[in-house]
Chains A and B, each alone.
Chain A
Amino acid sequence: MALIIVIIVLVVLALLLLFFTIGIYNGLVRSRNRTREAWSAIDVQLRRRASLVPNLVETVKGYAGHEREVFENVTRARSQLEQAGGAQQAAQANNMLTQALRSLFAVAEAYPQLRASENFMALQRDLTDIEEKIAFSRDFYNRNVLDYNTRLQTFPSVVIARNFGFQPREFFEAEEEARQEVRVDFSTGS
């Protein structure tokens, strides 16, 4: 009789532990999926931004063809952005592109006809809008990564995360944040 009670208690405890583990595991998966979804929102905007670059370069070239260095910088930053793997690399490439575009627009300042051209104005408007969208999607992504990475580092979810090989995700650092100290150990996003 006593043995049966002991067995029942053990079985109940084991089941509780199992359900607890399943709950935490599912929470981790949900959290990771949220970071992936948030990442794809950034990715969409980065692609849109990159796709505008050739058009912009062509437009500016029509007025200021001799500013070769600026065009090269922009084109190089763009191809880096397209090849970037992982949030950190993409952020770096994106910041490079921002810098390069800034000098491109500075060059454009010297050409009133270019600034007045409808195509150029539309491109400038689109780029500003995309930059804003990148900033917002970055906020959302980083918030989700913070939540996910915190789960990976705190008890009890840390135990389950270790056993099932959950990897921390990289933050998408903005320009001004990029120079600050690194907060987490970056390994390749899972």
Chain B
Amino acid sequence: MEGSVEQPVLIYDRIDKNRRNTILLFLAFAIVIAVLFGAVGAIFGLYGGLEAKQLGPLVGSVAAIGLVTALAFSWVSYYASSSVVLGISEAHEVTKEQEPVLWGVVENLCIGAGLPMPKVYVIEDSAPNAFATGRDPQHAAVCATRGLLDKLERRELEGVIAHELSHIGNYDTRVMTVMVMLAGLAALVSDVMLRFTWYGSGSRSNNRDKGGGAAGAIILILAIVVIVLTPIAAALLKMAVSRQREYLADASGALLCRNPDALADALQKISQDKEPLEVANKATEHLYITNPLQEHASALNNLFDTHPPIERRIELLRAM
């Protein structure tokens, strides 16, 4: 009972922090997009030969459009992102009758955590993994792969689900799920822009007689977009997956299922399984309990890893 004195306090602090972070994330996203739109407007304006006093309103209105668009996208992603995540992960909802064991584990642990019963999803993939999503505990979902259900014992499954329910209880899922949409969009835009830049530079060398100036400006714009968006997308992803978040969910999950060793055993089993999860991608990998992509080998990759080293997590759980 010693640790539980701190636990409620800790949880409510985490909730506040995650709520704040979600709003900050939306604001940062909106500002970046507005600046980006403004910059594009300025370059177009300059290229079109506008005077300084015409340029101001143009940049302002384009930036405002960017701001509104970004906020609208944020608003949509707040409500829709968990459906999107479940959709792209090819998860299907299951009932108590279809998956009595998984359902029972989720139901009982929810009682222990004081959470309402989330929706339960399964991904038909033999790689063992799990994630949770949803903007708050009332709209949450827990998702496990078929491999997880087949390969883990019940107590290990309890450990994993307890970890996921901790993410739901302290609103980690709100930040993490919204991040999928924002980071996904940023990555998509920068990817598209990058392709355009290559295409643009290729065509410029072919007709340098007249269109060279216009193409040069467009390339410049695209380059700026790429330069600005790529590191932001990366930074957003990194922020979403702060390692501390995983350690905390491990600790409170272990407390919830009252069996740190069960979660440690589960992590060990999951990490020894080298099969990659096909439905996971760069935008969603940070949601999972362990990294589903399994392509990290070098020390450099470890630096950009979305999950803390699994050996360290197991070590900490064993010491509990």
Interface of A with B (CB < 8 Å)? 34, 37-38, 41, 45, 129, 132-133, 136-137, 139-140, 142-144, 146-147, 150
Interface of B with A (CB < 8 Å)? 1, 4-5, 7-9, 104, 107-109, 111-114, 256, 258
Question: Are A147 and B9 interface neighbours, CB within 8 A?
Answer: yes
Chain A residues near B256 (CB-CB < 8 A) = 139
Chain A residues near B114 (CB-CB < 8 A) = 34, 37-38, 41, 140, 144
Contact A140/B1 with A129-B104, A147-B8, A147-B9 known, Cβ cut-off 8 Å: no
Closest CB pairs A-B (n = 10): A136-B112, A147-B8, A136-B111, A137-B111, A140-B114, A143-B4, A139-B112, A136-B108, A140-B112, A132-B108
Partner of B4 from A34, A137, A146 at Cβ < 8 Å: A146
Question: Are B5 and A139 interface neighbours, CB within 8 A?
Answer: no
Q: Give the A-B contact count at a CB cut-off of 8 A.
A: 39
Q: Closest B-chain residue to A183, C-beta based?
A: B1
Question: Are B111 and A146 interface neighbours, CB within 8 A?
Answer: no
**Least distance between B86 CB and chain A CB atoms (Å):** 26
A-B contact pairs, 20 of them (CB 8 A): A34-B114, A41-B111, A41-B114, A45-B111, A132-B108, A133-B108, A136-B109, A136-B112, A137-B112, A139-B112, A139-B256, A140-B112, A143-B4, A143-B7, A144-B8, A146-B1, A146-B4, A147-B5, A147-B8, A150-B5
Chain B residues near A140 (CB-CB < 8 A) = 111-114
**Least distance between B251 CB and chain A CB atoms (Å):** 15
Chain A residues near B109 (CB-CB < 8 A) = 136
Q: Give A94 to B258 CA distance when docked, in angstroms.
A: 21
Chain B residues near A38 (CB-CB < 8 A) = 114
Chain B residues near A143 (CB-CB < 8 A) = 4, 7-8
Contact A133/B111 with A139-B258, A142-B1, A146-B1 known, Cβ cut-off 8 Å: yes
Q: A136-B108, A136-B109 are in contact. List 17 more A-B contacts (CB 8 A).
A: A37-B114, A41-B111, A129-B104, A129-B108, A133-B107, A137-B112, A139-B256, A140-B111, A140-B112, A140-B113, A143-B4, A143-B7, A143-B8, A144-B114, A146-B5, A147-B9, A150-B5
Chain A residues near B1 (CB-CB < 8 A) = 142, 146
Q: Give A139 to B258 CA distance when docked, in angstroms.
A: 9
Chain B residues near A137 (CB-CB < 8 A) = 111-112
Q: Give A47 to B56 CA distance when docked, in angstroms.
A: 71
Q: Closest B-chain residue to A138, C-beta based?
A: B112
Q: Closest A-chain residue to B112, C-beta based?
A: A136
Chain A residues near B112 (CB-CB < 8 A) = 136-137, 139-140
**Least distance between A22 CB and chain B CB atoms (Å):** 18
Q: Closest A-chain residue to B7, C-beta based?
A: A143
